Chains A and B, each alone.
Chain A
Amino acid sequence: MIANIIKKEFKELFVLSTIIPIVVIAIVYGAVGNMIGNVQETMKEKPIIGIVDMDDGTFSDTAMSVLTERAEVIYDGGDVEEGLEEVRQENGVALLAIPENFSQSIYANQPGEIEIYWIMRGAGMMDSISSGTVEGLIQGVNQEVSKELIQQDTSSDPALILAPTSRVETTFFKGKEIEGVSPGVLGNMLMSQSIVIPIVIMMLIIMAGSSVISSMGMEKENKTLETLLTMPVRRSHIVIGKMVGSALVGMIMAAIYMIGFSRYMSSFQGSDINLADFGLAMGMQDYLLVGVSLFTALLAGLSLCIVLGTFAKNYRSAQALIFPITAVALISAFIVMFKDFDTIPAVLRILVFAIPFTHPMMAMRTLMLDNYALVIGGIAYTGVFTVVMVWVAVRIFNSDRLLTGSVRKRAGLGKLALGFRRR
């Protein structure tokens, strides 16, 4: 008896329309994972650096031997500007400059200063991995210099032995020169843009999208759609009305979610960080652009959902149709969180641009760096995407498809599969 029920449930649920989206999404996740790259492999790779050594003392020799052994040194000269240019061209992480009084300072019980010029290419969580490996190099230099100090028995200050070097940092990030900040610190400061915003937008899309798809499923299940379609109202108004109604519901739900989530995230962040101090402030027009980007992306997502919703036969099948939207929103959020648009492979960049949801996720971070072209281009693209999707939805609303479903043609029988049953 139970087997009979299990068999019936399995046959009802294990259908092509539920399997295909999962297979497609699994393939996309796999492909995205491969394209983004493996964190462990990146960690194992030697960081690409440049070195400017202006000191010919004992400790700079120690530092140099550590750096040349553990890193791929693509510049070893005496000019910082030239070295920076080389590091930029060779996709390097940083240029380390050892000033001429490095060893002398350490002998004088003062930490030897290392100047670090970071080249930061992206603000995603994975973009700071290579700078982390350079941080490891500096630790290595410190250890070797400490050993040297102990071996030389110079009666040095214990504090100096524990921390024999100090650093002066400058980070070059997309045309901006930010002094006194490492990529790791900068990445943490941008955490709200990297994590909170993508997650909030992802939730907004999923919640608003599921509202509109469910609404279509319920209209069919409750047999209210036919009546609605005979009302003296334009089809485009029905489509837009459903979209805007769902957008409002989605925004309220996302706002509630956001309150809790932002409280959660604030526990990880310092409260004294001011991005404006580092030239990363946003003006009114930037916030306006973020708002427009969010609004157009939401409409784009909802227009796509309403097209998907036309395939729903009832509330249950509508739930299955929400899955592709959820998966695409998740993929968008993960890509934006882990990688910067500029640091992902070209194929993935096209995919990221093509997904309308990614644009507001990236907008704030992009505008901080004055990349208006990407944001405005994204708004234009999502606008066009929305218009096309609304047009497709209106076409479907004007066709028989909404009421009769798909028509299966069987050779010889010539019978109507779904529509026939419904007549």
Chain B
Amino acid sequence: MKAVEVKELVKDYGNFRALKGISFEVNDGEIFGLIGPNGAGKTTALRTIATLLQITSGSITVFGYELPKEAGDVRKIISYLPEEAGAYKNLTGRGYLNFIAKFFGEGERFQSMVQRGLEIANLGDRIEDKVDTYSKGMTRRLLVGRALMANPKLAILDEPTSGLDVVNAQEVRRIINSAAEGGTAVLLSSHNMLEVELLCHRIALINDGVIVATGTTAELKNKYSAGNIEEAFVKAIE
């Protein structure tokens, strides 16, 4: 079963068309990247799949569940990490993971989920401090821990390393890889072309609400006779 199937997805904001009939699929256990510049429609696509935005036309299914009809079922198996996400500042890191874990289970399942979150976040003793005192990198690691602790079938990550330094970005990429190896399908967005080469099994190049090409990084570089994905992207939109 496909993790995600998007067909002819159109999304309008008033009379502005943000997505102009995009289609793509994400396989189970795959890391799939939506790659494009700012304003290309990446976040809109991810938010729509994450059940946050309404569909103007077209269809989306997540592990066979159809949106928006089965949005409740979809929310049980996905995890969404927004680009500029924050955590509740008056909670400690552990308190925040506890709060989120309670939505997904009780008892042993709850405990193991929090434990996994703590391991992914890897904040040491600082996990007992209030989120308000965390650096941006620490907050992001906590949020990645939150997003992956429930072992979601699909993790939707919007610019997961945005604003992080090299060390923190590398750590987050390692966590994402590890989650995919554990069976989680990952749909992520990025405008960092180098990062996607390191991370994604397959990518879709999106520009101005249209997917211009889909494939593995090797396939796309070969198709556009490009040395890297950045060059392939520029050639694809010409």
Interface residues in chain A, defined as those with a beta carbon under 8 Å from any beta carbon in chain B: 222-224, 226-227, 229-234, 399-400, 403-404, 407-409, 414-416, 419-420, 422-423
In-complex Cβ contact of B72 among A226, A232, A414 (8 A): A232
Given known contacts A223-B86, A420-B13, A234 and B103 CB-to-CB distance under 8 angstroms = no
Given contacts A226-B80, A400-B54, 5 further A-B contacts (CB under 8 A): A223-B82, A223-B85, A224-B86, A227-B146, A420-B18
Contacts of A416 in B (CB 8 A): 13-14, 16, 18
- Chain B, 41-79, CB within 8 A of any chain A CB: 41-44, 47, 50-54, 72, 75-76, 78-79
**Residue from A223, A227, A400, A422 with most neighbouring chain B CB atoms (10 Å):** A227
Contacts of B43 in A (CB 8 A): 422-423
25 contacts between A and B (CB under 8 A): A222-B86, A222-B87, A222-B88, A222-B89, A224-B87, A226-B50, A227-B80, A227-B85, A227-B146, A229-B52, A230-B50, A230-B75, A231-B75, A232-B72, A232-B104, A399-B54, A400-B53, A403-B52, A404-B13, A407-B13, A407-B14, A409-B14, A419-B13, A419-B18, A423-B44
- Chain B, 78-97, CB within 8 A of any chain A CB: 78-82, 84-89
Contacts of A233 in B (CB 8 A): 75, 103
- Is the CB of B15 closer than 8 A to any CB of chain A? yes
Given known contacts A416-B16, A423-B44, A226 and B53 CB-to-CB distance under 8 angstroms = no
Given known contacts A231-B75, A232-B76, A423-B44, A226 and B13 CB-to-CB distance under 8 angstroms = no
Distance in angstroms from B95 CB to nearest chain A CB is 13
**Residue from A226, A232, A409, A423 with most neighbouring chain B CB atoms (10 Å):** A423
Contacts of A227 in B (CB 8 A): 80-82, 85, 100, 143, 146
Distance in angstroms from A365 CB to nearest chain B CB is 41
User: Are A231 and B13 closer than 8 Å at their CB atoms?
Assistant: no
Docked Cα-Cα span, A408 to B72, in Å, equals 30
Contacts of A420 in B (CB 8 A): 13, 16, 18, 39
Given known contacts A224-B85, A224-B86, A403-B53, A230 and B13 CB-to-CB distance under 8 angstroms = no
Interface residues in chain B, defined as those with a beta carbon under 8 Å from any beta carbon in chain A: 13-16, 18, 39, 41-44, 47, 50-54, 72, 75-76, 78-82, 84-89, 100, 103-104, 143, 146
Docked Cα-Cα span, A407 to B16, in Å, equals 9
Given known contacts A223-B85, A409-B15, A230 and B80 CB-to-CB distance under 8 angstroms = yes
CB closest residue in chain B, given A400: B53
Question: 9 closest A-B pairs (Cβ-Cβ)?
Answer: A407-B14, A223-B86, A416-B16, A416-B13, A419-B13, A222-B86, A230-B80, A232-B76, A232-B75
Docked Cα-Cα span, A423 to B84, in Å, equals 11
Contacts of B82 in A (CB 8 A): 223, 226-227
Contacts of A415 in B (CB 8 A): 16
Distance in angstroms from A218 CB to nearest chain B CB is 8
Docked Cα-Cα span, A231 to B149, in Å, equals 13
Distance in angstroms from B48 CB to nearest chain A CB is 9
CB closest residue in chain A, given B18: A423
Distance in angstroms from B62 CB to nearest chain A CB is 12
Given known contacts A232-B72, A423-B39, A408 and B89 CB-to-CB distance under 8 angstroms = no
Docked Cα-Cα span, A92 to B104, in Å, equals 69
Contacts of A419 in B (CB 8 A): 13-14, 16, 18
Distance in angstroms from A188 CB to nearest chain B CB is 46
CB closest residue in chain A, given B43: A423
User: Are A403 and B47 closer than 8 Å at their CB atoms?
Assistant: yes
CB closest residue in chain A, given B96: A224
Distance in angstroms from B36 CB to nearest chain A CB is 11
Docked Cα-Cα span, A416 to B44, in Å, equals 13
Docked Cα-Cα span, A414 to B18, in Å, equals 11
User: Are B52 and A226 closer than 8 Å at their CB atoms?
Assistant: yes
Distance in angstroms from A230 CB to nearest chain B CB is 4
Contacts of B75 in A (CB 8 A): 230-233
User: Are A423 and B41 closer than 8 Å at their CB atoms?
Assistant: yes
Given known contacts A407-B14, A415-B16, A230 and B85 CB-to-CB distance under 8 angstroms = no
Distance in angstroms from B87 CB to nearest chain A CB is 7
Docked Cα-Cα span, A423 to B37, in Å, equals 11
Distance in angstroms from A401 CB to nearest chain B CB is 10
In-complex Cβ contact of B51 among A230, A234, A408 (8 A): A230
Contacts of B78 in A (CB 8 A): 230
Docked Cα-Cα span, A409 to B16, in Å, equals 8
CB closest residue in chain B, given A230: B80
Docked Cα-Cα span, A234 to B73, in Å, equals 11
Contacts of A399 in B (CB 8 A): 54
Docked Cα-Cα span, A68 to B18, in Å, equals 82
Docked Cα-Cα span, A423 to B20, in Å, equals 15
Contacts of B72 in A (CB 8 A): 232, 234
CB closest residue in chain B, given A411: B15
User: Are B52 and A414 closer than 8 Å at their CB atoms?
Assistant: no
CB closest residue in chain B, given A407: B14
Docked Cα-Cα span, A404 to B43, in Å, equals 12
Contacts of A409 in B (CB 8 A): 14-15
Docked Cα-Cα span, A407 to B53, in Å, equals 14
Contacts of A423 in B (CB 8 A): 18, 39, 41-44
Docked Cα-Cα span, A231 to B51, in Å, equals 10
Contacts of A403 in B (CB 8 A): 47, 52-53
Contacts of B100 in A (CB 8 A): 227, 231
CB closest residue in chain A, given B87: A224
Contacts of B103 in A (CB 8 A): 231-233
Distance in angstroms from A82 CB to nearest chain B CB is 71
CB closest residue in chain A, given B81: A227
**Residue from B15, B18, B54, B104 with most neighbouring chain A CB atoms (10 Å):** B15
